[in-house]
Structure 1
Amino acid sequence: MMKLTVIVPCYNEEEALPFFYEEIKKTEAAMPYAEFELIFIDDGSGDRTLEVVKDLAVKDEKVKYISFSRNFGKEAAMYAGLKNASGDIAVIMDADLQDPPSLLPEMYRAITQEGFDSVATRRVTRQGEPPVRSFFARMFYRIINKISKTEIVDGARDYRMMNRKFINALLDIREYSRFSKGLYGWVGFKTKWLEYENKERVAGKTKWSFWKLFLYSIEGIVAFSTGPLAIASVLGVLMLGVGGIAILFIIVRQLLFGGSAFGWPSMVCIILLMGGLQLFCTGILGVYLSKAYLEVKERWNPDGKYQCIAGRTAGHRNPVV
């Protein structure tokens, strides 16, 4: 019997927790071949979330909890859950039941019997979501997959089950600004994807406003692409090209008609040339900065040593086993 740790980040989920606990206990009863451990992470909630979790821990010895001193965000909560998970397998789930517990048996079989290291989920529909939010979500996935070498699946959820090898690889990455959807793809390993239709919250309101999601998407782009740093170079080259063409146009016009090389046209050309040159040089600095940025992250291993995880190279260079 393998131990399964269920990690549940919670932020103001007082209303949803009783429903979640009831459903997860039903799933546990349907999986007698797995030993369950529940870890609730109270992410600085302002309601009675912590009190509800404490009550559950009193009546159920399998329930554990972690309480943050303030709201640090879901990424910090997921990391804390993985750090304290004692199971051979761990799964991250939301407390609002938008992550169906009914998928747990299939996910568990995929890891224990089919040889997968992780089982990820993605939504195939966005029913119940505002159209504007759905549009920008799809655009985000298109953009980040074009400018990043790490694949991030459209509609991917944080609802994911993983074995101990996968967990340890994630914990070895000690970045402060984490974007787990990208880290899952970056560490690699054999992953199975499960698709399901969007589920409505069982209770309470979503804590993810459009602005918070926008800031989170910026975090993801910055964390897994150095493309924005190269934009300055591209703009600089374009401005240099436009400035050069404009100067040639003014010279030809001066030779043919006269009186064209004075006043604002020549000033605009000078501004374009100087601005383009400055942007181009800034872009070159950005390329060097991106190299330093990737080195500082030390994604291969926190102690600076390269390693090979289960036959897969964890770093970009030759690994030391």
Structure 2
Amino acid sequence: MKLISVVSPCYNEEGNVEALVERVRSLFAQLPQYRYEHILIDNHSTDRTVELLRGLAATDPHVKVICNARNFGHIRSPQHAILSATGDAVVVLLSDLQDPPELLFEFLREWEAGYPIVVGVKRTSDENAMVYSVRSIYYKLIAKLTDVKVIEHYTGFGLYDKKVIEILRNDFKDPNPYLRGQIAEIGLPHKEVYYNQKRRTRGITKNNFYTLYDMAMLGITNMSKVPLRLVMLGGFLCAAFSLVLAFGYLIAKLIFWQHFQLGLAPIMVGLFFLGSVQLISIGIIGEYVGSIHSIVQNRPLVTERERINFD
């Protein structure tokens, strides 16, 4: 019997973990041809999530729990759980239940048909329409910046064959892994399964502007060098514009020597413009330098405080 590993990252999800485990258990009760393990990794929750996970693990040997020593972020923690899975296939299912666990049936069907990667793609969403539109623009931007085929509105929800997990485990050594970019970079055949993402019914989202910005910049810096080249191109364009402007003022001064005055406004505008270009350029370069710094440090994805039911 093939083993299916379901991985669910958790952070302050006391309102969802019991329903999540029960829904996964119900799904596999309808799939007697498979064995399964449900790995829930807690990213140092401050509510009753860990207490509830202990209770679930005590009554169900399929439930395996990893408790992090501290909060390692919404990128590193899920990746650690994925790499801890031992199944013939690994399913990533978030704990907020916005992504329907019932798609597991279709994921497994497509996997058995030969697809090593089956991903859930949000065709529609019950979230704020403006947020969904901004995400669409971001995915199109990423597609323009890289020659790797990017899957739009794919958040990591999906099924991955064990050979894909082995590639992630052995060939990618990034301490801040961008799973969506890694899957696109691997390039193995994939199947897209479309669904409507529901609103969260319990608890509040853990994503804020900073976490969304962090993930967006991670996606850009991990998948493209175009921004660095745009910085250089912008420098050349600004230099050329400044040179043309300087010649223009020189000619105007020579022609209208007695009447033409330079004034402070063009100087101030020019200084602020060039200063802004420099700050943006330094920021973009800093993102790449920060990525290099993280890789050089070679830190582990997480430090575990405890494992439950892995024996």
**Could you tell me the TM-score, scaled by structure 1's length?**
0.79
Query: Superposition pairs for residues 101-116 of structure 1, below 5 Å?
Result: 101-112=101-112, 114-116=113-115
Cα distance in 1 for partners of 2:29, 2:255 equals 89
Which residue of the partner structure matches residue 57 of structure 1? 57
Cα distance in 2 for partners of 1:51, 1:198 equals 28
Contact 1:124–1:196 (Cα < 8 Å) also in 2 = yes
Cα distance in 2 for partners of 1:87, 1:4 equals 5
Give the deviation of 1:264 after TM superposition. 4.8
Contact 1:41–1:67 (Cα < 8 Å) also in 2 = yes
Give the deviation of 1:297 after TM superposition. 6.0
Give the deviation of 1:262 after TM superposition. 6.9
Determine whether 1:82 maps to 2:82: yes
Determine whether 1:178 maps to 2:172: no
Contact 2:175–2:295 (Cα < 8 Å) also in 1 = no
Q: Which amino acid aligns with 1:167?
A: I
Where structure 1 has 5 or more consecutive residues not aligned to the other structure, the ranges are: 299-321
CA deviation map 1:64-98 (0-9, x unaligned): 11000111123222222122111111111011221
- CA distance 1:260–1:216, change in 2 (3 Å): farther
Contact 1:111–1:119 (Cα < 8 Å) also in 2 = yes
Cα distance in 2 for partners of 1:72, 1:176 equals 11
Which residue of the partner structure matches residue 315 of structure 1? none
Which residue of the partner structure matches residue 160 of structure 2? 162
Which residue of the partner structure matches residue 198 of structure 1? 197
Contact 1:6–1:91 (Cα < 8 Å) also in 2 = yes
**Could you tell me the TM-score, scaled by structure 2's length?**
0.82
Q: Which amino acid aligns with 2:134?
A: F
Cα distance in 2 for partners of 1:264, 1:154 equals 50
Give the deviation of 1:260 after TM superposition. 7.5
Cα distance in 1 for partners of 2:248, 2:76 equals 57
Which residue of the partner structure matches residue 305 of structure 2? none
Cα distance in 2 for partners of 1:26, 1:156 equals 25
Which residue of the partner structure matches residue 299 of structure 2? none
Give the deviation of 1:119 after TM superposition. 0.3
Cα distance in 2 for partners of 1:263, 1:103 equals 68
Determine whether 1:96 maps to 2:96: yes
Which residue of the partner structure matches residue 316 of structure 1? none
Determine whether 1:121 maps to 2:120: yes
Q: Which amino acid aligns with 1:31?
A: L
Give the deviation of 1:171 after TM superposition. 1.6
Query: Which of 131, 134, 144 pairs up with 2:132?
Result: 134
CA deviation map 1:96-134 (0-9, x unaligned): 22121211121112112x21111001111122x223422
**With CA pairs under 8 Å and 6+ residues apart, which has the higher RCO, 1 or 2?**
2
Give the deviation of 1:263 after TM superposition. 4.7
Give the deviation of 1:8 after TM superposition. 0.8
Contact 1:151–1:182 (Cα < 8 Å) also in 2 = no
- CA distance 1:214–1:132, change in 2 (3 Å): farther
Contact 2:221–2:288 (Cα < 8 Å) also in 1 = no
SS at match of 1:162: strand
Which residue of the partner structure matches residue 228 of structure 2? 229
Coordinate RMSD, CA, aligned: 3.1
